[in-house]
């Protein structure tokens, strides 16, 4: 085991004697030990995995923690016989917003039903070499609840990828197609990856992880909400790279097959997104049959 570290990957937690950081709390269960002493079993998760941490401090036991909240923790690895376990030395609700942490690796993989999908999202984001596009993607996905719903919601209720985590799975398939297209320039490739990952982001507001429509989802199509979710990040991007911001807006709003509104796709990336989007949906439906 190594010395204390900060914001480690949880999959490597057993390599540390002590660590601290900010993580999503995804489980919080009261237990009673063999001496009738209460303690809490706390589950923390990031993009790489999850760990169970045990806490006997009364301030922890009587705190009102909520699942899926960010917490600041300090954890020590202890041995009970031959088996290591994690003891909570400090835990408190974090005052930080997800965007302040600036990394998609905080997203809790244990809440996504697709093994490895959250890590793949992080790898795709890391592959983006255009710094302002990487910052744009982080700003959108690290909004409170957007990223959390992105990794849990279905892509549709009945059409394709209609299961928990389907939205992320579909978005990754479309983005991976851009990543593998060697004919594109680096900037166009990066624009394609970002556009693909966020092309259905409006569904985080219209669908629920348990495969129902939200109140607004019964009244508004998801496409109408994509620009709204991206609006703040688009404003920041537009102030420095107006052409790129306009290109993303065009990609997300140009007409799809059979629609009665929207401009025709005028750019190569916009046309590719339509092709890759349809291919992902078709292939999933064919596999499901």
CATH number at residue 23: 2.40.50.140
Alpha helices in 180-267 (DSSP H): 186-198, 203-206, 223-240, 242-253
Q: What is the mean pLDDT of residues 22-42?
A: 90
Q: Between 268-288 and 242-253, two packed helices, what is the crossing angle to 10 degrees?
A: 40
Residue 121's domain comprises 105-288
- Residues 174-221 have pLDDT tens digits of 999 999 999 999 999 999 999 999 999 999 999 999 999 999 989 988
* pTM of the complete model: 0.91
The CA-based angle 151-41-27, given to 5 degrees, is 20
| Integer CA distances (angstroms), 55 to 58, 60, 81, 245, 281, in order | 9, 7, 19, 47, 45
Q: Are 193 and 241 found together in one domain? A: yes
Number of domains in the chain: 2
Residue 260 has pLDDT above 50, yes or no: no
Segment (H or E) for 202: none
Segment (H or E) for 111: none
Report residue 45: phi and psi, to 5°: -145, 145
Residue 30 or 277, more confident: 277
Residue 267 placed within a domain: yes
Angstrom distance (rounded) from CA 90 to CA 264: 56
Confidence at residue 33, expressed as pLDDT on a 0 to 100 scale: 85
The partner residues of 2 in beta bridges, in order of sequence, read 16
Q: Are 142 and 254 found together in one domain? A: yes
């Amino acid at each position: 085991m190594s010395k204390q570290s900060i914001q480690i990957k949880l999959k490597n937690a057993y390599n540390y004697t002590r660590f601290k950081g900010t993580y999503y709390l995804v489980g919080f269960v009261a237990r009673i030990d063999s001496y009738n002493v209460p303690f809490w079993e706390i589950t923390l998760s990031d993009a790489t995995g999850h760990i169970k941490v045990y806490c006997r401090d009364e301030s922890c036991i009587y705190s009102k923690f909520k699942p899926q909240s960010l917490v600041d923790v300090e954890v020590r690895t202890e041995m009970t016989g031959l088996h290591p376990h994690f003891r909570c030395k400090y835990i408190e609700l974090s005052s930080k917003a997800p965007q302040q942490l600036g990394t998609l690796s905080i997203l809790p993989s244990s809440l996504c039903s697709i093994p490895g999908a959250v890590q793949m999202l992080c790898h795709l984001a890391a592959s983006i070499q255009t710094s302002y596009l990487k910052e744009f993607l982080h700003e959108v996905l690290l909004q409170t609840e957007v990223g959390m719903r992105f990794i849990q919601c279905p892509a549709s209720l009945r059409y394709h990828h209609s299961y928990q985590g389907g939205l992320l799975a579909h978005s990754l398939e479309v983005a991976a197609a851009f990543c593998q297209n060697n004919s594109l320039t680096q900037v166009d490739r990066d624009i394609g990856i970002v556009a693909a990952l966020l092309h259905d982001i409006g569904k985080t507001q219209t669908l629920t992880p348990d495969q129902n429509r939200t109140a607004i989802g019964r009244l508004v199509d998801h496409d109408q909400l994509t620009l709204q979710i991206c609006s703040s990040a688009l404003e920041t991007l537009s102030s420095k790279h107006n052409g790129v911001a306009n290109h993303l807006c065009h990609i997300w709003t140009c007409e799809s097959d059979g629609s009665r509104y929207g401009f025709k796709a005028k750019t190569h990336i916009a046309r590719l997104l339509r092709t890759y989007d349809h291919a992902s949906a078709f292939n999933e439906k064919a596999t499901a049959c």
